[in-house]
Amino acid sequence: MSASSPSGMKFRYAKFPSDLPSKPWVSRPIIPVRLYGPKDSIPLGALLDSGADRCFFSEEIGRMIGLDIEQGIRSNLTGVEGQRAPAYLHKVRISVDGMPGDVEVLAGFTASKGVGAILGQEGFFDAFKVTFERTRGVVDIAPARTR
């Protein structure tokens, strides 16, 4: 669910089942976006991750929008456990549902398990002011600068 605010758009955190019996649900800041590639675009629910250096998406998503994944710039994705996985960087565009325009980002595409759609610092957080209100269960997204 989303709502307009004077500063941008507010999105409610999404709830997911937890593996802890004492806490059956976990809330995550997942927002609706559209990812544009050279041949197609698709709507996605993407996790806002202030700890991610850049935006990352699964290889499957990249192929759906028309990317030849291995033709991108080879890089590495390092996870929380220190494991490195290959990622291929491509320029794509991302729009946030309910907000005008889109932004171009250099995003990584990887076969690493657990990566679906992650919006990170470089590219996304550069273009948007992101305010997490975890206690209220909402995140506010606004353009970082006037276009």
**Residue 73 CB partners (closer than 8 Å, separation 6+):** 88, 89, 90
Domains of the chain: 2-143 (2.40.70.10)
Q: Is the pLDDT of residue 68 over 70?
A: yes
For the cut 50, the answer to whether the pLDDT of residue 71 exceeds it is: yes
Query: Per residue in 82-95, pLDDT tens?
Result: 677 889 999 999 99
For the entire predicted model, the pTM comes to 0.87
Neighbours of 40 (CB within 10 A): 12
Nearest to 55 by CA among 128, 107, 91, 92: 107
Distance CA 50, CA 17 (A): 22
Q: What is the pLDDT of residue 70?
A: 95
